Amino acid sequence: MLLMDGSGPYQVTAPKTQFIRFCVTKVTRWLPMSAEIQNNAIESRPSLLPTGDTSKKCLVLDLDETLLHTSLRPIDNPDYIIPIDTDLYYVFKRPGAEEFLIEMAKYYEIVVYTTSLSKYADPLLDKLDPQGVISRRLYREHCVQYEGGYVKDLSLLDRDISQTIIVDDWSMSYKFHPRNAIGCSCFFYDPNDRELDSIARFLAKHHDVEDVRDHLFAWDAKY
């Protein structure tokens, strides 16, 4: 997750906000979508994705603080340093991120959906996904602006919503489809983080369920 102004990404570095935000995610996760949100959803935008492999469910993944963390400040031992425009980004992969992508691609169509700009996200994803298992990339311009933030509207993907899961550390991102979400913890620098291992086991177990919305509550109950 990134906080944005109109020009680029700014990192969230206050660790105390992580627990508060994750708790809010837990509380709001199962609240029904209000009529106001439904009425504000975009009604006539073309599909963001071409026709996909209907034999697989669609797994939508956030980028920042879900799969990796970046910093503009020099930090020791980054996984890699990427120049973007005039800046250098120090990048830390979430432990197991590459393995997670490869394993989940066996069961799911992988889509990365970020609130970042493509000029920032693409170099990161090129490094993170050298095998090219990510099917599609969606960026800030593909999000819906709502209440001062960006929402990732899963209804615009042209995928069966009962077969679509989003993994994101920021509950605003899945405001329109909370029952389709796995709210993960934020990743910053922790080399002992094992969140993706837990999510991978959960997703592998539930990859063939009839309707994902009937099962994702188990993630909240366990984690």
Q: Which runs of consecutive H residues, i.e. helices, occur in 29-150?
A: 35-40, 97-104, 118-128
Catalytic choice (5, 53, 62, 122): 62
Reference 148, options 40, 30, 49, 34; nearest CA is 40
User: How many C-beta neighbours within 10 Å does residue 216 have?
Assistant: 23
**Is the pLDDT score of 3 beyond 70?**
no
**Is the pLDDT score of 20 beyond 60?**
no
**Is the pLDDT score of 179 beyond 90?**
yes
Residue 132: which region, alpha, beta or left (left: phi > 0; alpha: psi -120 to 50)? left
Confidence band for 220, pLDDT divided at 50, 70 and 90: confident
* Residue entry with tokens 């933030």: 149
pLDDT, residue 38, reads 42
Reference 178, options 58, 1, 27; nearest CA is 27
pLDDT tens for residues 26-77? 333 334 444 344 444 445 467 898 876 678 999 999 999 999 999 999 999 9
Model-level pTM?
0.81
Of the two residues 49 and 96, the one the predictor is more confident about is 96
Contact 169, 183 (CB under 8 A): yes
**Is the pLDDT score of 79 beyond 70?**
yes
Strands 144-146 and 149-151: antiparallel
Reference 191, options 75, 111, 83; nearest CA is 75
Reference 168, options 181, 155, 149, 154; nearest CA is 181
Q: Percent of the chain beyond pLDDT 90?
A: 72
pLDDT, residue 85, reads 94
Q: Looking at domain 53-222, does it have CATH number 3.40.50.2030?
A: no
Q: What is the mean pLDDT of the segment spanning 84-113?
A: 98
Strands 136-138 and 144-146: unpaired
**Is the pLDDT score of 83 beyond 90?**
yes
pLDDT tens for residues 106-137? 999 999 999 999 999 999 999 999 999 999 99
Question: What is the average pLDDT value for the chain, to the nearest integer?
Answer: 84
Reference 21, options 198, 183, 213; nearest CA is 183
62 noted as active-site residue? yes
94 is written with which tokens?
């979430």
Reference 9, options 81, 66, 76, 87; nearest CA is 87
pLDDT, residue 189, reads 87
Residues 6 or more apart from 198 whose CB is under 8 A from it?
A: 223
Catalytic choice (64, 153, 168, 193): 64
pLDDT tens for residues 146-172? 999 999 999 999 999 999 999 999 999
